[in-house]
Amino acid sequence: MNIDQAADLIRTVLHQVAPDADLDGLAPDADLRETLELDSLDFLQVIELLSERAGVRIDEEDYQFLATLGGAATWLAGVAPAPAHG
């Protein structure tokens, strides 16, 4: 998975968890939880969906890498396997 694919996946997941949030105006370095007003349960759902769709294990120690869209895309691209072709 490259960074663009990772960023797309993150946006899809964020849209699902916070359908009303304005993702177009979201800066890559903005704090996701603060900007999108995600509470701890919302964030847990984001982690759950990302983990499931990207096929990676995300531990609590990794949450720190998922604070911003830019940071999360970089981190996810580094750990997620390439999506299957076809």
Partner 1 sequence: MRAAIAALMARSKREIPHYYLTETVDLGDAMAWMRDRNRQLPVPKRLVPAALLLKAAAVALRAVPELNGFWIDDRFVAGEDVHLGVAIALRGGGLVAPAIHRAADLELPELMASLRDLVARTRAGRLRRTELSDGTVTVSNMGDQGAESIIGVIYPPQVALVGFGRIVDRPWAVHGLIGVRPVVTVTLSADHRATDGATGARYLQTLAHLLERPEEL
Which residues are at the interface with partner 1 (CB under 8 A)? Answer: 18, 20, 33-34, 37-41, 44, 47-48, 51, 58-60
By C-beta, is 29 or 37 nearer to partner 1? 37
By C-beta, is 3 or 18 nearer to partner 1? 18
Q: Return the half-sphere exposure (C-beta side, CA atoms, 13 A cut-off) of residue 71.
A: 11
Q: Which of 60, 49, 51 is nearest to 80 (CA)?
A: 51
By C-beta, is 11 or 33 nearer to partner 1? 33
DSSP state for residue 67 in the 8-state scheme: S
Cβ at position 8, least distance to partner 1 in Å: 21
Q: What is d(CA 78, CA 17) in angstroms, rounded to the nearest whole number?
A: 24
